[in-house]
Structure 1
Amino acid sequence: MNPPKRLRTADNETPRGGQQEEEGRAVEVSIIMPMHNASCWLDECLQAILQQDFTGAMELSVFDDASTDDSRKVVEGWRERLEARDISVVISGHNSAQPRGVGYAKNKATSQSCGQYLCFQDADDVMLPQRVRLQYEASLLHPNSLIGCKVQRVPEGSTERYTRWINTITQDQLVTQAYTSHGPTVIMPTWFCSRSWFLKVGQFDEGGKGVPEDLLFFYQSLRQGGGVARVDQCLLVYRYHEKAATHSVTEETIWKLRVDFLQERLLSQWESFTIWNAGKQGRKLYRCLSPTNQKKVKAFCDVDKNKIQKGFYTYEESKERPKPKIPVVDYKDTSPPFVICVKLDMTEGVLEENLNSLQLKEGVDYYHFN
């Protein structure tokens, strides 16, 4: 019999980076788990890790971000069961008065791990038995990519539109809908990628509470030429609760990041374009654009006859004289490319029918922003 493995901690770690071996076997997958006051969810989360059907060498790397409950004790209590399943354990943390944030904890958990691939796991979620195996196989087929999966949201009915979007957008839309308000098109709790790609993109932002470290990393990955892929099976039970870190990120923070990325990646390549929505959201996008990109807006288009009859939108906040006036026209009377500022899944299919009637192709003729 092999001798039992010891619990590894940050104090007895050897240098990391995917090269360490466990009992003669290089670790293939590190499960990266930041943790803060997660005690009530950990048993279910760790039991699911124990039940993975992946046959390669795995480790669990946990960083405790100043928990004030018994989270670390719970993880340590699972050591023998995990090691008996040939899953080595690395755990460290800090006991400062305040947590340093999700980005910091993810970076620490990653840096102390040694697997060639990284499987990010939130302590309040539950992975299905085939998650690591299927995402590992997908990573081999899609190197330099962030791999996601479909999810089951609990409690059932939570964030219904968002969950439907996660599970139903196509592989092409994983890229074309990167500007929408939902955030990364493969959500962070489902991410799986190679260590080499993670290191190329760079670490998570460590700004702490209120910083969308997942969206910042996602956009940087796309800037680096990274791919996005999804295993089209439900591999994660994705828990909704009021203490989730995502609630600390404001809508305005996300809006600004999306506008900047839209201008950088898309609008900078266009000579002119139309904003599809002459209402509040379309006008807000226009006002947030740089002066250069504002001048590229040839029109707003809409289906609302009242807006169309007004004939134009006056940019009252402009310091230009005369103030810019942008035409407002019927959507049938303009031409692509379009930035669509109408919320997805909110018009009972009318938006999609209108786009189809013009024979427009997403990712070529239009991109969704809302």
Structure 2
Amino acid sequence: LNLPMHLQKRAKYLLSIIMPVHNASSWLVECLQAIMHQDFTGSMELSVFDDASTDDSRKVLEGWRERMEDRGISVVISGHGSSQPGGGQLNYPSIVYFFLVRLQYETSILHPNSLIGCRVQRLPEGSTERYARWINSLAQDQLLTQAYTSHGPTVVMPTWFCSRKLFMKVGLFDEGGKGVPEDLLFFYQFLRQGGSPLRVDQRLLVYRYHEAAATHSVTESTIWKLRVDFLQERVLSQWESFTIWNAGKQGRKLYRSLSLINQKKVKAFCDVDEKKIQKRFYTHEESKERPKPTVPVLHYKEATGPFIICVKLDMTGGVLEENLNSLQLKEGTDYYHFN
């Protein structure tokens, strides 16, 4: 980006790369080399939090200190003796929270109240294929509208770039430790405060998948409850009634998870499966209400919006997407994905 002169004058801040490390020696050299070869020419700092590593991560880091400092990158290494997997290692108080990517930095100068992400290259190739495709294919407006899907934040945390001022305004990461989705909680709070995520549409980060990642400690039920609560807070509270698109397992699960007030707003389920449609009604057998609530089941062409879509994206050979397009609906107004 070619920044105007008045913005160039503002571009004098320290950029700090925040690197939480826990038994990461297998990948540290590759990561440190990438930092060394960044083309940003301003003041930089590498702030490493060693989260009680028991391998030779600390030795590798110390071995790179002199090379980093010769490159003009100051190095701060801190840590503690007991591991805190999750968000705690990201709250080290001397942090200026930036990811060192020049294009993200320039975007952040132009959009100081935005959380900036980027496209990623997923390694190993082919791992979490649908998730990686989703990360990289979202349109700019979908960074807001698809914040309710099971994938989590629409810009993934390893790509986040923002000012310290914005980070402190949103609030520190949750330090609950293992099993706490600190990135999702932070992202939701960012949206609550009117934040708008942006993405540099280039692949600026290698996003590695491995079984030891802390993200695997977060249970599906934890994520589900957070998503349902956020959907009710941000969307359903604004609607007088709506239709759940999917009369199957996921649609019924969403219905049962809603508050009583929002259950009463569900005017129908809709589907394409004739077997489900022929049943005509879904009865909420677990309800304590008498008589037990029943909800009509309709063909999607007979249903009326707005809709909450509980069918997985990119899993129907384009049929779901074609059906939505045939109704000329607008995402974020007429429907939201919750899948």
Short-chain TM bin:
over 0.9
Corresponding residue for 2:90? 106
- 8 A contact 1:312–1:325 mirrored in 2: yes
Partner SS state of residue 367, structure 1: strand
Partner SS state of residue 16, structure 2: strand
Shift of 1:307: 0.6
User: What letter matches 2:88 in structure 1?
Assistant: Y
- 8 A contact 1:186–1:230 mirrored in 2: yes
Partner SS state of residue 196, structure 1: helix
Corresponding residue for 2:106? 137
Shift of 1:336: 1.1
Partner SS state of residue 115, structure 2: strand
CA–CA separation in structure 2 for the residues paired with 1:175 and 1:329: 29
User: What letter matches 1:55 in structure 2?
Assistant: T
Corresponding residue for 1:271? 240
- 8 A contact 2:112–2:163 mirrored in 1: yes
Shift of 1:64: 0.9
State the Cα deviation string for residues 71-121 of structure 1 (Å, max 9, x = none): 11211111111111111111111113xx1123110111xx223x4x511xx
Corresponding residue for 1:189? 158
Shift of 1:26: 6.1
Shift of 1:27: 4.6
- 8 A contact 2:86–2:179 mirrored in 1: no
Alignment of 1:312-331 (within 5 A): 312-331=281-300
Partner SS state of residue 276, structure 2: helix
Partner SS state of residue 209, structure 1: coil
Scaled by the length of structure 1, the TM-score of the pair is: 0.87
- The number of equivalent residue pairs is 329
Scaled by the length of structure 2, the TM-score of the pair is: 0.95
Shift of 1:28: 2.2
Corresponding residue for 1:164? 133
Corresponding residue for 2:3? none
Corresponding residue for 1:217? 186
Out of 168, 189, 206, the residue aligned to residue 199 of structure 1 is 168
Corresponding residue for 1:354? 323
User: What letter matches 2:94 in structure 1?
Assistant: Q
Partner SS state of residue 162, structure 2: strand
Corresponding residue for 1:310? 279
Partner SS state of residue 87, structure 2: helix
Partner SS state of residue 48, structure 1: helix
Out of 98, 107, 123, the residue aligned to residue 118 of structure 1 is 98
- 8 A contact 1:149–1:190 mirrored in 2: yes
Runs of 4+ in 1 over 2 A off after TM superposition: 25-28
> How much identity, in percent, do the aligned residues show?
78
- 8 A contact 1:151–1:237 mirrored in 2: yes
CA–CA separation in structure 1 for the residues paired with 2:136 and 2:308: 23
Corresponding residue for 1:29? 15
State the Cα deviation string for residues 151-182 of structure 1 (Å, max 9, x = none): 11111110000000000010000000000000
Corresponding residue for 1:61? 47
User: What letter matches 1:231 in structure 2?
Assistant: V
Corresponding residue for 1:39? 25
RMSD: 1.2
- 8 A contact 1:142–1:227 mirrored in 2: no
User: What letter matches 1:104 in structure 2?
Assistant: G
- Consecutive unaligned residues in structure 2, runs of 5 or more: 1-10
State the Cα deviation string for residues 214-239 of structure 1 (Å, max 9, x = none): 00000000001111000000001111
- 8 A contact 1:42–1:71 mirrored in 2: yes
Corresponding residue for 1:94? 80
Corresponding residue for 1:335? 304
User: What letter matches 2:17 in structure 1?
Assistant: I
Q: Does 1:239 align with 2:219?
A: no
